Amino acid sequence: MGVRTAVSARCDGALPARINPVLKGKLTWWGMVTRKRLRVISNALALYALTALLIGYFGVNAYSGDRGLKAKEDIDRQIATLTAELDRLQGEDIQWHRRIGLLKSDDIDPDMLDERARALLDYADPNDLTLVLGKH
């Protein structure tokens, strides 16, 4: 019967004798509200933490991912390099087309023919002035 009276005393709001009577008013509502508040606060913190992690994940991928800002800068740099090389090669192509046009059989430029023959045959006329450049 002693166990039954202690349980019924707790359900009725009466406190056992070993609890300080000053805390009687505070202890009747303290336990339930704390659990509810703790659950609400922990749910809110978990939601904020999850949101911060998702934002961080997408932020990092937006900067350093395969299609991120860093990849765009690398692609822009590569485009600039390749565009400069294309311009150089197009200029060289135009120069070669002009030189080939001068060597066509219809109207051969004698100076161009002489230059190409000397370059291919590694020939120099005895009256030519030659300048030998040494390696440094």
Output 107 or 62, whichever has higher pLDDT: 62
Residue 90 pLDDT > 90, yes or no? yes
pLDDT at 109: 77
CB atoms < 10 A from the CB of 30, how many?
11
Pairwise pLDDT comparison (4 vs 132), residue with the higher score: 132
Greater pLDDT, 125 or 94: 94
Segment 5-55, tens digit of pLDDT: 444 445 555 555 566 656 555 555 545 557 888 889 999 999 999 999 999
pLDDT for the residue 22: 60
* Cα angle, residue 100 at apex, residues 97 and 102 outer, rounded to 5°: 115
Asked whether the predicted pLDDT for residue 102 surpasses 80, the reply is no
| Contact partners, residue 124, CB within 8 Å, separation at least 6 | 118, 130
pLDDT at 134 over 90: no
How far is residue 91's CA from residue 85's CA, in Å, rounded to a whole number? 10
What is the residue-averaged pLDDT of the chain? 79
pLDDT digits (tens, 9 = 90+) for 74-87: 999 999 999 999 99
How many whole angstroms separate alpha carbon 82 and alpha carbon 75? 10
